[in-house]
Structure 1
Amino acid sequence: MDPAAGHSPRAPASVSEVSPHATESACLLIADISGYTGYLAGVELDHAQDILADLVGTIVSALRPAFRLAKLEGDAAFTYAVTDKLDGSLLLDTIERCYFGFRRRRRDVRQASSCDCNACVRIPDLGLKFVVHHGTILRQRVAGHEELLGPDVILVHRLLKNDVVASTGLKAYALLSQQCVDAMDVDVSALGMRAITETYEHIGAVGLWVHDLDRRWREEQERTRVFVDEGHAAYRLDTPTSAPPQVAWEFVTTPGRRVAWQLGVTGVELIASGNRRGVGATNHCMHGENATIEELLDWRPYDYFTNRTTVPTPMGPVRFLATTEFEPTSDGTILHQRFAAPRTAKERAIMEQLSAWLDDVMRTSTARLAQQLEEELERRRSEATDEPELPRARPDGPLAGLSSP
C-alpha cells in the first residue's frame, strides 16, 4: 500500500519519505545470474541484453508473488517478503522452482535461437545462485521509488561475495544465513545442507548453510512421475479461483491453512525428513480421533502433487491415488482434484457407497477454499506497492517468436 495514501499531497520527488511502518521483519532474497561478467567478454552486447532481459523476467516471475521485486541490480534481482516467520517448505520450493525454471528457459532460449553469434551460443555458460537472509528492514520512498534500508539489507548483498565455489565446488546453490534458518521450520542439516562460515569486514563471522541446487535438479529429472489424469479419474472436481497457482498451492499444501478450509479436519501432522513437505512425506490428516493418511508420491510446485490416500470408514479402509493439479489461467487458477478408483473390488464398493458424502465434503471444502483465497488476494492487494518494471527483449531480437516465460 502506498504510504502516502489517504494523507496530504505527496512532497516533491527529491524529498525522502519514511514508511509509517518503521522497521519490519522480512526475508531478503537475491537471485544472481552467475558468470554474466565473463559472458559479456567478446559477445554481441545487444543480443546479450535481450537474453539477460528474458532470463531476469523468468526469475522474477518464478519468485512472485511470494517475493516482491525491490530492485534490479544488473544481472541480479533483489526481492523481499515481509514476514516474521518462514515456511521452510514454501521457501525452498520457491527457490528450487525458480532454479528449475531458469534451467529450462536457458535451454529453450538456446534451442529457439537460430543465431550463431557468441551471445546466443554461450547461453549455457550462464548460471544462477541465490543468497537469502532474514532480518529487519526500513522501507523508504526516494524520488517516488521504494528503497529498502538497514544493516540486514547490507548483509544480504555482502553474502554475494563468498567462497562457496572454492570451498564446496558448487556453482548452483542457495546460500541461507543462520538467521534465515532460525526463522524457518525445517531441519536444514537433515535436508543435506552444508554449514559454512564467511567473514566480512565490519560484520564479522556469519554462519551460513549451502543448498545444492544442481543436486536437486538431477533429482527432479530422475524422479518418477505419478499423475492421475482425466482418463483414470473415478471422481473429479474442478474449482476456479482468481488466485495465482503459487497462492492456491500455499493454501492447499500448508497444514495450518488446510485446517481453516477443509471440512472436518481438526489438525494435520506432517512426518517428513527435515520437516519438509515433498516426496516421501506423510500427512496424518486428523478428523477428531480418526486420521486420513496421505503418502506424498509426487511433488511438482506449483503444478501438481499426488498422494496415496488411506481413508478409514466403518466398513474398512479405502485406499486410492489422488492428484491435485493447479492449472494457470489468464485470470487465476483452476484447481483440478482427481481420485483414481481403488484397486480392490471391496474398496471400490465402499467408495461407491460413500460417493455422495465424498462429493458433499469436497464441494463444501473447495467453496471455503475459494472464499479464503479471494479474501487473501484482497488483503495482498491492499498492502501492495509498486514494483520496478522488468526489462524487455526487443521484438526483433534473437528471441523473437519465443513465447514469454
Structure 2
Amino acid sequence: MQKAIYFMPDISGFTNFVNNTEVEHSIHIIAELLEILLDNNTLGLELVEIEGDALFMYVTNIPSYNELMKQVTIMHEAFHKHTQNYDSLRICNCGSCKTTTNLELKFLVHYGDLNFIKVKHITKPYGRDVIKIHRLLKNKITYDEYVLFTNSVFELFENQTHDSWEKTTEDYDLISLVYFYKNLGSVKFKIQKLNPLSEEHIDKPILTIEKTFNANIETIYSYITELKHRHLWDKEVKRIEYDASKVNRIGTEHNCILNLGSLKFETITEPSSDSLTYGEKTKEMKFTRDFSYLIKLNKIDANNTKVVLNIYITFSTIGTFMKNNILKLVTKMWNKKLDDLHEISKKENSIINSHNE
C-alpha cells in the first residue's frame, strides 16, 4: 500500500460580515492568500482540493522532518508577509480589509495510506486517513497558530523531533486520536511592513473642485474605489480592464478604454487622519507628462459629505501652450463626473435609509 504525507494549511480569523463589499473582499483576500501558499510549495505537494479557507494536499515522496518543518516555515512567513503588506497598501476600510492582519494560519499533517476513489473523471484520495486529518481541523488547541502532527507523523520522525511538542488525545465519534502540536509563535509581528506608496504632493493642485454630497461617506467611497462601479459615474470610460479577483489597493493598475484609445492608471492615496482619500495617476494623458487626482471625503454627518477634488498636472511643452483650454475641458469633465457620482450615491443612501426605517 502506497503511503503519503497529508498536508493541510488552514486560514482562520475572519469574523462574519454582512455587508456585500466585506463578503466579496474577504473572498478575494482568502483567494490571494491561498495562491501565496501554493506558490510557496517547496515539497511538490499535490493539491487535492480547495476546502473553503484551507488547502488539502499530499505528497508520496516522504520528506524528512527538517524538510517538512521548513515547508511550514516558508508558507507561514509568506502568508504573514502578504497580510502585513496588504494592510500597508490597502485603501479600503471595510471589515474584511481592516482585519486582514488578524488572519491566522495553522497546519495539520498526517501520515497514512493513500487510496483513491474515482467518480466519472474525478479522482481523489479516499479512506479513513483522509477522514482522520479532516476531523482534526476541529480541535481544542488554544494557540492561535500551530502545526499539528498526528501520532503516525510523530512516530515517523520520532528520532528527529525536539522537546517543544505537546501531546494530547481527543475523542471523535467514539474514536480517540492522539496528536502532537507545536506553537508557531507570533511571526506576523516580526515581518517588516512595506512603506505605503502614497503620494505626497508638494506643489499645489492646478485645479480644485469642492462639492457637498447628500450621501454617506462610506457609500461615496465605495463607488469611487470599486472599479466595477466606475462606469456608473464616469461616462467618459467605455469599460475598465482590471483584475476583478483582486481588491483595489495602492499600486493597482487598470486600463480605461475610451472612445478614442485608452489610458492606464495606477491607484494612489495620500496620508490623512481626517478624511478618506482616493486617487489615480497616469503618464499617458495627452499633452501632459504627469496627471493625477485625489478625491478627499470629509464626513459632515451621517448623510452629508464634503467632497474635494484636487487635480495635479505637469504639462508637456505643447500642452503648456494649450493649458487654459485643457483646464476648461478637465473642469467640465470632472464637474459632470462628480455630479453623476453624487446622484448615484444619493440614491443608494436613500435606499439604505428606507431599509433602516
TM-score (norm 1): 0.46
Counterpart position of 1:61: 39
| Distance (Å, rounded) in 2 between the aligned partners of 1:219 and 1:35 | 16
- 8 Å CA contact 2:147, 2:184 repeated in 1: yes
Identify which of 96, 106, 111 aligns with 1:129: 106
Alpha-carbon distance change, 400 to 149 in structure 1, aligned in 2, over 3 angstroms: farther
Q: C-alpha deviations, 1:190-244, integer Å up to 9, x for none? A: 3x11112222114x222211111115x389779xxxxxxxxxxxxxxxxxxxxxx
Alpha-carbon distance change, 195 to 185 in structure 1, aligned in 2, over 3 angstroms: closer
Q: C-alpha deviations, 1:116-174, integer Å up to 9, x for none? A: 22221111221111111000021233332321101000000001010001xxxx11001
Counterpart position of 1:113: 90
| Distance (Å, rounded) in 1 between the aligned partners of 2:84 and 2:155 | 36
Counterpart position of 2:170: 198
| Distance (Å, rounded) in 1 between the aligned partners of 2:243 and 2:159 | 39
Q: Structure 1 residue 394 and structure 2 residue 244: aligned?
A: yes
| Distance (Å, rounded) in 1 between the aligned partners of 2:245 and 2:136 | 36
Counterpart position of 1:72: 50
The alignment's C-alpha RMSD in Å is 2.8
Alpha-carbon distance change, 220 to 122 in structure 1, aligned in 2, over 3 angstroms: closer
Alpha-carbon distance change, 90 to 186 in structure 1, aligned in 2, over 3 angstroms: farther
Q: What displacement does 1:88 show?
A: 0.2
Q: Structure 1 residue 188 and structure 2 residue 169: aligned?
A: no
- 8 Å CA contact 2:116, 2:123 repeated in 1: yes
Range with greater deviation from structure 2 (42-51 or 27-36): 42-51
Percentage of pairs with the same residue? 23
What is the aligned residue count?
A: 203
Alpha-carbon distance change, 148 to 51 in structure 1, aligned in 2, over 3 angstroms: same
Counterpart position of 1:324: none
Q: What displacement does 1:59 show?
A: 1.4
Counterpart position of 1:143: 120
Matched residue of 1:214: which SS?
A: coil
| Distance (Å, rounded) in 2 between the aligned partners of 1:219 and 1:126 | 13
| Distance (Å, rounded) in 2 between the aligned partners of 1:51 and 1:158 | 26
Counterpart residue identity of residue 32, structure 2 = D
Equivalent positions of 1:289-304 (< 5 A) are none
Equivalent positions of 1:3-402 (< 5 A) are 23-36=1-14, 38-40=15-17, 44-83=22-61, 85-165=62-142, 170-184=143-157, 186-190=159-163, 192-202=164-174, 204-214=175-185, 217=187, 394=244, 397-399=247-249, 401=251
Counterpart residue identity of residue 124, structure 1 = T
Matched residue of 1:46: which SS?
A: helix
Q: C-alpha deviations, 1:351-391, integer Å up to 9, x for none? A: xxxxxxxxxxxxxxxxxxxxxxxxxxxxxxxxxxxxxxxxx
| Distance (Å, rounded) in 2 between the aligned partners of 1:393 and 1:136 | 41
Q: Which runs of 5+ in 1 are unaligned?
A: 1-22, 223-391
| Distance (Å, rounded) in 2 between the aligned partners of 1:65 and 1:88 | 12
- Considering Cα pairs closer than 8 Å and 6+ residues apart, tell me whether 1 or 2 has the greater RCO: 1
Alpha-carbon distance change, 55 to 396 in structure 1, aligned in 2, over 3 angstroms: closer
Decide which structure has the larger Cα Rg and report it. Answer: 2
| Distance (Å, rounded) in 2 between the aligned partners of 1:160 and 1:101 | 22
Counterpart residue identity of residue 184, structure 1 = F
Q: Which runs of 5+ in 2 are unaligned?
A: 193-241, 254-357
Q: What displacement does 1:396 show?
A: 6.2
Q: What displacement does 1:183 show?
A: 1.6
Alpha-carbon distance change, 162 to 58 in structure 1, aligned in 2, over 3 angstroms: same
Q: What displacement does 1:46 show?
A: 1.5
